[in-house]
Homo-oligomer: A and B are copies of this chain.
Amino acid sequence: MSGKTTIYDIAKALNITAATVSRALNDNPKISQSTRKLVLETANKMNYKQNKLALALRSGKSNNVGVIVPRINTNFFASVIRGIEEGLHPEGYQVIICQTHEDEDREVENVNTLLNAQVDGIFMSISNLPKENNHYIERVIQKNIPLIFFDRKKEMKNVSSVTIDDYLASYQTTQHLIEQGCEKIAYFSGDRSLEIYEDRYRGYEQALLDNNIPINEDYIISIKSNVVEGRDAVEKLLTLENPPNAIFSTSDFAALGAIQKLKERGIKIPEDFCVFGFGNEPFTKFMELSISTIDQSPLEMGKMAAQVFLDKINNKKSESKVVLLPKLLIRQSSTRIIT
Protein backbone atom coordinates (compact mmCIF):
# COMPACT_ATOMS: atom_id res chain seq x y z
CA MET A 1 0.00 0.00 0.00
CA SER A 2 2.41 2.71 -1.04
CA GLY A 3 -0.66 4.78 -1.61
CA LYS A 4 -1.20 4.42 -5.33
CA THR A 5 -4.83 3.75 -5.92
CA THR A 6 -5.89 3.49 -9.56
CA ILE A 7 -9.29 3.13 -11.09
CA TYR A 8 -8.46 -0.55 -11.57
CA ASP A 9 -8.10 -0.98 -7.84
CA ILE A 10 -11.50 0.57 -7.34
CA ALA A 11 -12.96 -1.57 -10.10
CA LYS A 12 -11.60 -4.73 -8.56
CA ALA A 13 -12.89 -3.78 -5.14
CA LEU A 14 -16.39 -3.30 -6.52
CA ASN A 15 -16.22 -6.11 -9.03
CA ILE A 16 -16.89 -3.84 -11.98
CA THR A 17 -14.65 -2.56 -14.78
CA ALA A 18 -12.36 0.41 -14.89
CA ALA A 19 -14.46 1.97 -17.62
CA THR A 20 -17.42 2.16 -15.30
CA VAL A 21 -15.30 3.64 -12.58
CA SER A 22 -13.99 6.22 -14.98
CA ARG A 23 -17.48 7.13 -16.06
CA ALA A 24 -18.64 7.46 -12.49
CA LEU A 25 -15.77 9.72 -11.61
CA ASN A 26 -16.34 11.89 -14.64
CA ASP A 27 -20.06 12.34 -14.20
CA ASN A 28 -20.74 10.57 -17.43
CA PRO A 29 -24.51 10.45 -18.03
CA LYS A 30 -24.45 6.79 -18.97
CA ILE A 31 -24.23 5.54 -15.45
CA SER A 32 -26.69 4.66 -12.72
CA GLN A 33 -26.93 6.83 -9.68
CA SER A 34 -26.33 3.87 -7.42
CA THR A 35 -23.01 2.79 -8.93
CA ARG A 36 -21.88 6.37 -9.22
CA LYS A 37 -22.45 6.87 -5.54
CA LEU A 38 -20.78 3.60 -4.70
CA VAL A 39 -17.75 4.40 -6.81
CA LEU A 40 -17.36 7.86 -5.39
CA GLU A 41 -17.55 6.54 -1.87
CA THR A 42 -15.06 3.80 -2.53
CA ALA A 43 -12.73 6.16 -4.32
CA ASN A 44 -12.83 8.42 -1.35
CA LYS A 45 -12.30 5.57 1.05
CA MET A 46 -9.35 4.24 -0.91
CA ASN A 47 -7.99 7.75 -1.20
CA TYR A 48 -7.95 7.73 -4.96
CA LYS A 49 -6.28 10.59 -6.81
CA GLN A 50 -6.39 10.90 -10.55
CA ASN A 51 -3.03 10.39 -12.23
CA LYS A 52 -2.59 13.52 -14.28
CA LEU A 53 0.24 11.99 -16.25
CA ALA A 54 -1.93 9.25 -17.65
CA LEU A 55 -4.60 11.78 -18.44
CA ALA A 56 -2.08 14.06 -20.08
CA LEU A 57 -0.65 11.29 -22.21
CA ARG A 58 -4.04 10.26 -23.46
CA SER A 59 -5.50 13.70 -23.96
CA GLY A 60 -2.37 15.33 -25.26
CA LYS A 61 -2.84 18.15 -22.75
CA SER A 62 -0.51 18.32 -19.83
CA ASN A 63 -2.17 21.24 -18.08
CA ASN A 64 1.27 22.68 -17.55
CA VAL A 65 2.59 25.86 -19.02
CA GLY A 66 6.19 26.96 -19.10
CA VAL A 67 7.62 30.35 -18.28
CA ILE A 68 11.08 31.31 -19.45
CA VAL A 69 12.74 34.33 -17.89
CA PRO A 70 16.29 35.56 -17.52
CA ARG A 71 16.07 35.14 -13.75
CA ILE A 72 13.38 34.86 -11.18
CA ASN A 73 14.81 36.74 -8.23
CA THR A 74 14.01 40.23 -9.35
CA ASN A 75 10.79 41.90 -8.44
CA PHE A 76 9.68 42.38 -12.00
CA PHE A 77 9.93 38.81 -13.20
CA ALA A 78 8.74 37.34 -9.93
CA SER A 79 5.67 39.53 -10.13
CA VAL A 80 4.90 38.68 -13.72
CA ILE A 81 5.16 35.01 -12.90
CA ARG A 82 2.89 35.53 -9.97
CA GLY A 83 0.41 37.20 -12.31
CA ILE A 84 0.56 34.31 -14.75
CA GLU A 85 0.12 31.84 -11.93
CA GLU A 86 -2.87 33.69 -10.57
CA GLY A 87 -4.47 33.91 -13.97
CA LEU A 88 -3.97 30.27 -14.80
CA HIS A 89 -4.38 28.49 -11.52
CA PRO A 90 -8.19 28.79 -11.50
CA GLU A 91 -8.18 27.05 -14.87
CA GLY A 92 -6.20 24.15 -13.50
CA TYR A 93 -2.83 24.92 -14.98
CA GLN A 94 0.49 24.58 -13.22
CA VAL A 95 3.42 26.80 -14.01
CA ILE A 96 6.87 25.44 -14.76
CA ILE A 97 9.65 27.96 -14.43
CA CYS A 98 12.91 28.10 -16.34
CA GLN A 99 15.73 30.59 -16.03
CA THR A 100 18.10 31.45 -18.83
CA HIS A 101 20.56 33.58 -16.90
CA GLU A 102 20.62 35.66 -20.08
CA ASP A 103 22.31 32.80 -21.87
CA GLU A 104 21.24 32.04 -25.42
CA ASP A 105 22.03 28.34 -25.32
CA ARG A 106 20.17 27.97 -22.10
CA GLU A 107 17.17 29.62 -23.69
CA VAL A 108 17.13 27.14 -26.54
CA GLU A 109 17.58 24.31 -24.09
CA ASN A 110 14.70 25.55 -21.97
CA VAL A 111 12.35 25.71 -24.90
CA ASN A 112 13.23 22.16 -25.84
CA THR A 113 12.78 20.93 -22.31
CA LEU A 114 9.36 22.49 -22.13
CA LEU A 115 8.35 21.01 -25.45
CA ASN A 116 9.49 17.57 -24.28
CA ALA A 117 7.43 18.07 -21.18
CA GLN A 118 4.46 18.63 -23.46
CA VAL A 119 3.50 21.97 -21.99
CA ASP A 120 0.32 23.51 -23.32
CA GLY A 121 1.84 26.93 -23.71
CA ILE A 122 5.04 28.91 -23.30
CA PHE A 123 5.45 32.38 -21.81
CA MET A 124 8.75 34.00 -22.40
CA SER A 125 10.73 37.16 -21.96
CA ILE A 126 13.58 36.70 -24.36
CA SER A 127 17.13 36.94 -23.16
CA ASN A 128 18.99 37.11 -26.38
CA LEU A 129 18.58 38.36 -29.86
CA PRO A 130 17.93 35.31 -31.92
CA LYS A 131 19.67 36.77 -34.93
CA GLU A 132 18.68 34.53 -37.77
CA ASN A 133 18.46 31.64 -35.40
CA ASN A 134 14.76 31.56 -34.73
CA HIS A 135 14.76 27.86 -35.25
CA TYR A 136 13.74 26.91 -31.76
CA ILE A 137 10.95 29.45 -31.75
CA GLU A 138 9.66 28.29 -35.11
CA ARG A 139 9.38 24.81 -33.70
CA VAL A 140 7.02 26.01 -31.01
CA ILE A 141 4.84 27.71 -33.59
CA GLN A 142 4.87 24.66 -35.83
CA LYS A 143 3.71 22.46 -33.00
CA ASN A 144 0.90 24.93 -32.60
CA ILE A 145 1.73 25.60 -29.00
CA PRO A 146 0.69 29.07 -27.90
CA LEU A 147 3.71 31.28 -27.43
CA ILE A 148 3.36 34.53 -25.54
CA PHE A 149 6.16 37.02 -25.23
CA PHE A 150 6.03 39.47 -22.37
CA ASP A 151 8.09 42.60 -21.83
CA ARG A 152 11.08 41.59 -23.91
CA LYS A 153 9.29 40.62 -27.04
CA LYS A 154 10.22 40.03 -30.60
CA GLU A 155 7.88 40.92 -33.38
CA MET A 156 6.80 37.69 -35.06
CA LYS A 157 3.82 36.27 -36.81
CA ASN A 158 1.65 33.85 -34.85
CA VAL A 159 3.18 34.92 -31.61
CA SER A 160 1.28 36.93 -29.03
CA SER A 161 2.84 39.51 -26.81
CA VAL A 162 2.06 41.57 -23.76
CA THR A 163 4.21 44.61 -23.20
CA ILE A 164 3.96 48.15 -22.00
CA ASP A 165 4.26 51.06 -24.38
CA ASP A 166 7.95 51.55 -23.89
CA TYR A 167 8.14 54.33 -26.43
CA LEU A 168 5.45 56.29 -24.66
CA ALA A 169 6.97 55.70 -21.23
CA SER A 170 10.27 57.00 -22.45
CA TYR A 171 8.79 59.95 -24.30
CA GLN A 172 6.73 61.04 -21.31
CA THR A 173 9.64 60.68 -18.93
CA THR A 174 11.92 62.74 -21.11
CA GLN A 175 9.21 65.35 -21.50
CA HIS A 176 8.79 65.43 -17.74
CA LEU A 177 12.49 65.98 -17.19
CA ILE A 178 12.48 68.81 -19.69
CA GLU A 179 9.53 70.38 -17.90
CA GLN A 180 11.51 70.21 -14.69
CA GLY A 181 14.03 72.45 -16.32
CA CYS A 182 16.54 69.83 -17.34
CA GLU A 183 17.64 70.15 -20.93
CA LYS A 184 20.88 68.22 -20.68
CA ILE A 185 19.49 64.73 -20.19
CA ALA A 186 21.81 61.76 -20.19
CA TYR A 187 20.36 58.41 -21.12
CA PHE A 188 21.34 55.00 -19.76
CA SER A 189 20.35 52.48 -22.37
CA GLY A 190 19.98 48.74 -22.30
CA ASP A 191 21.00 46.60 -25.25
CA ARG A 192 19.27 48.25 -28.17
CA SER A 193 19.10 45.10 -30.22
CA LEU A 194 16.24 44.16 -27.92
CA GLU A 195 13.04 45.78 -29.10
CA ILE A 196 12.05 47.30 -25.79
CA TYR A 197 15.35 49.13 -25.49
CA GLU A 198 15.14 50.36 -29.03
CA ASP A 199 11.61 51.64 -28.38
CA ARG A 200 12.72 53.37 -25.24
CA TYR A 201 15.56 55.03 -27.03
CA ARG A 202 13.26 56.29 -29.75
CA GLY A 203 10.95 57.80 -27.16
CA TYR A 204 13.83 59.65 -25.56
CA GLU A 205 15.09 60.84 -28.90
CA GLN A 206 11.74 62.02 -30.18
CA ALA A 207 10.96 63.97 -27.02
CA LEU A 208 14.23 65.80 -27.32
CA LEU A 209 13.63 66.56 -31.00
CA ASP A 210 10.11 67.78 -30.31
CA ASN A 211 11.61 70.19 -27.80
CA ASN A 212 14.31 71.31 -30.16
CA ILE A 213 17.03 69.85 -28.02
CA PRO A 214 19.88 68.35 -30.01
CA ILE A 215 20.97 64.78 -29.30
CA ASN A 216 24.33 64.64 -27.56
CA GLU A 217 25.98 61.32 -28.22
CA ASP A 218 28.19 61.73 -25.19
CA TYR A 219 25.13 61.56 -22.99
CA ILE A 220 24.08 58.17 -24.23
CA ILE A 221 25.65 55.32 -22.34
CA SER A 222 24.99 51.63 -22.68
CA ILE A 223 24.80 49.90 -19.31
CA LYS A 224 23.85 46.67 -17.66
CA SER A 225 21.16 46.71 -15.04
CA ASN A 226 23.13 47.03 -11.82
CA VAL A 227 24.30 49.56 -9.27
CA VAL A 228 27.96 49.56 -10.17
CA GLU A 229 27.38 50.30 -13.83
CA GLY A 230 25.29 53.28 -12.80
CA ARG A 231 28.07 54.62 -10.63
CA ASP A 232 30.67 54.18 -13.33
CA ALA A 233 28.50 55.82 -15.94
CA VAL A 234 28.02 58.91 -13.80
CA GLU A 235 31.73 59.17 -13.27
CA LYS A 236 32.20 59.19 -16.98
CA LEU A 237 29.50 61.81 -17.49
CA LEU A 238 30.96 64.15 -14.90
CA THR A 239 34.28 64.30 -16.69
CA LEU A 240 32.60 65.76 -19.78
CA GLU A 241 33.24 69.38 -20.62
CA ASN A 242 29.55 69.97 -20.66
CA PRO A 243 28.11 67.50 -18.18
CA PRO A 244 24.38 66.72 -18.09
CA ASN A 245 21.98 67.84 -15.40
CA ALA A 246 19.65 64.86 -15.53
CA ILE A 247 19.76 61.14 -16.09
CA PHE A 248 17.07 58.94 -17.46
CA SER A 249 18.14 55.42 -16.64
CA THR A 250 16.33 52.44 -18.14
CA SER A 251 17.33 50.53 -15.03
CA ASP A 252 16.36 51.36 -11.46
CA PHE A 253 19.54 49.76 -10.20
CA ALA A 254 21.72 51.92 -12.37
CA ALA A 255 19.67 54.96 -11.32
CA LEU A 256 20.42 54.09 -7.71
CA GLY A 257 24.11 53.81 -8.46
CA ALA A 258 23.99 57.15 -10.19
CA ILE A 259 22.32 58.79 -7.21
CA GLN A 260 24.86 57.34 -4.82
CA LYS A 261 27.73 58.68 -6.85
CA LEU A 262 26.15 62.09 -7.39
CA LYS A 263 25.62 62.48 -3.67
CA GLU A 264 29.19 61.52 -2.95
CA ARG A 265 30.21 64.31 -5.27
CA GLY A 266 28.05 66.72 -3.33
CA ILE A 267 25.62 67.24 -6.14
CA LYS A 268 22.12 68.01 -4.90
CA ILE A 269 19.18 66.02 -6.15
CA PRO A 270 16.80 67.20 -7.49
CA GLU A 271 17.94 70.81 -7.23
CA ASP A 272 21.08 70.42 -9.31
CA PHE A 273 20.38 67.15 -10.97
CA CYS A 274 17.32 65.01 -11.68
CA VAL A 275 17.29 61.25 -11.91
CA PHE A 276 14.61 58.99 -13.31
CA GLY A 277 14.62 55.20 -13.20
CA PHE A 278 12.64 52.46 -14.89
CA GLY A 279 10.87 49.44 -13.44
CA ASN A 280 9.57 50.49 -10.05
CA GLU A 281 11.75 48.16 -8.04
CA PRO A 282 10.55 48.19 -4.43
CA PHE A 283 13.59 50.04 -3.12
CA THR A 284 12.91 53.09 -5.28
CA LYS A 285 10.01 53.96 -3.03
CA PHE A 286 11.74 53.24 0.24
CA MET A 287 14.78 55.45 -0.24
CA GLU A 288 15.10 58.60 1.80
CA LEU A 289 15.24 60.35 -1.52
CA SER A 290 12.55 58.40 -3.29
CA ILE A 291 13.40 57.65 -6.90
CA SER A 292 11.11 58.56 -9.76
CA THR A 293 10.51 55.57 -11.94
CA ILE A 294 8.15 53.86 -14.35
CA ASP A 295 5.82 51.15 -13.23
CA GLN A 296 5.36 48.35 -15.71
CA SER A 297 2.45 46.73 -13.90
CA PRO A 298 4.10 43.35 -13.82
CA LEU A 299 1.23 41.66 -12.03
CA GLU A 300 -1.27 42.87 -14.63
CA MET A 301 1.17 41.97 -17.34
CA GLY A 302 1.26 38.40 -16.07
CA LYS A 303 -2.49 38.19 -15.71
CA MET A 304 -2.96 39.61 -19.15
CA ALA A 305 -0.51 37.13 -20.60
CA ALA A 306 -2.48 34.36 -18.93
CA GLN A 307 -5.66 35.71 -20.48
CA VAL A 308 -4.10 35.86 -23.91
CA PHE A 309 -3.09 32.24 -23.53
CA LEU A 310 -6.57 31.19 -22.46
CA ASP A 311 -8.13 33.07 -25.37
CA LYS A 312 -5.89 31.25 -27.76
CA ILE A 313 -6.56 27.87 -26.21
CA ASN A 314 -10.28 28.47 -26.36
CA ASN A 315 -10.01 29.58 -29.96
CA LYS A 316 -11.32 33.00 -29.21
CA LYS A 317 -8.33 34.74 -30.69
CA SER A 318 -5.44 33.43 -32.65
CA GLU A 319 -2.93 36.07 -31.80
CA SER A 320 -2.96 39.17 -29.62
CA LYS A 321 -0.56 42.00 -29.20
CA VAL A 322 -1.46 43.67 -25.95
CA VAL A 323 0.17 46.93 -25.02
CA LEU A 324 -0.30 48.19 -21.48
CA LEU A 325 0.06 51.77 -20.43
CA PRO A 326 3.15 52.65 -18.42
CA LYS A 327 2.67 54.53 -15.17
CA LEU A 328 5.05 57.36 -14.44
CA LEU A 329 5.76 57.54 -10.73
CA ILE A 330 7.13 60.99 -10.23
CA ARG A 331 8.93 61.07 -6.92
CA GLN A 332 11.52 63.19 -5.21
CA SER A 333 14.49 62.45 -7.41
CA SER A 334 12.95 64.37 -10.29
CA THR A 335 10.59 66.82 -8.66
CA ARG A 336 11.78 70.40 -8.75
CA ILE A 337 8.50 72.06 -9.57
CA ILE A 338 5.59 71.16 -7.39
CA THR A 339 2.42 71.83 -9.31
Name the one of B86, B117, B256, B289 contacting A94, with C-beta atoms under 8 angstroms.
B117
Q: Let me know if A51 is at the binding interface, CB within 8 A.
A: yes
Interface residues of A in 131-146 (CB under 8 A from B): 139, 142-144
Instruction: Give the nearest-CB partner of A4 in chain B.
Output: B143
Q: Let me know if A118 is at the binding interface, CB within 8 A.
A: yes
What is the CB-to-nearest-CB distance from A93 to chain B, in angstroms, rounded to a whole number? Answer: 10
Contact between B56 and A2, CB atoms less than 8 A apart: no
Q: Chain B residues with Cβ under 8 A from A288's Cβ?
A: 287-289
Q: Chain B residues with Cβ under 8 A from A282's Cβ?
A: 282-283
Q: Let me know if A47 is at the binding interface, CB within 8 A.
A: yes
Given A72-B78, A96-B95, the answer on whether A286 and B142 have CB atoms closer than 8 Å is no
Name the one of B56, B75, B94 contacting A53, with C-beta atoms under 8 angstroms.
B56
Q: Let me know if A115 is at the binding interface, CB within 8 A.
A: yes
Q: Let me know if A151 is at the binding interface, CB within 8 A.
A: no
Contact between A52 and B118, CB atoms less than 8 A apart: yes
Q: Let me know if A336 is at the binding interface, CB within 8 A.
A: no
Q: Interface size bucket, A side?
A: 35 or more
Q: Let me know if A327 is at the binding interface, CB within 8 A.
A: no
Q: How far is the CA of A75 from the CA of B98 in the complex (A)?
A: 17
Contact between B79 and A117, CB atoms less than 8 A apart: no
Q: How far is the CA of A4 from the CA of B145 in the complex (A)?
A: 12
Q: Chain B residues with Cβ under 8 A from A192's Cβ?
A: none
What is the CB-to-nearest-CB distance from A285 to chain B, in angstroms, rounded to a whole number? Answer: 9
Interface residues of A in 283-298 (CB under 8 A from B): 283, 286-289
Interface residues of A in 208-261 (CB under 8 A from B): 227, 256
Given A53-B53, A56-B53, A57-B53, the answer on whether A286 and B82 have CB atoms closer than 8 Å is no
Name the one of B3, B71, B78, B116 contacting A139, with C-beta atoms under 8 angstroms.
B3
Q: Let me know if A81 is at the binding interface, CB within 8 A.
A: yes
Instruction: Give the nearest-CB partner of A78 in chain B.
Output: B73
Contact between B85 and A97, CB atoms less than 8 A apart: yes
Instruction: Give the nearest-CB partner of A114 in chain B.
Output: B94
Contact between B96 and A64, CB atoms less than 8 A apart: yes
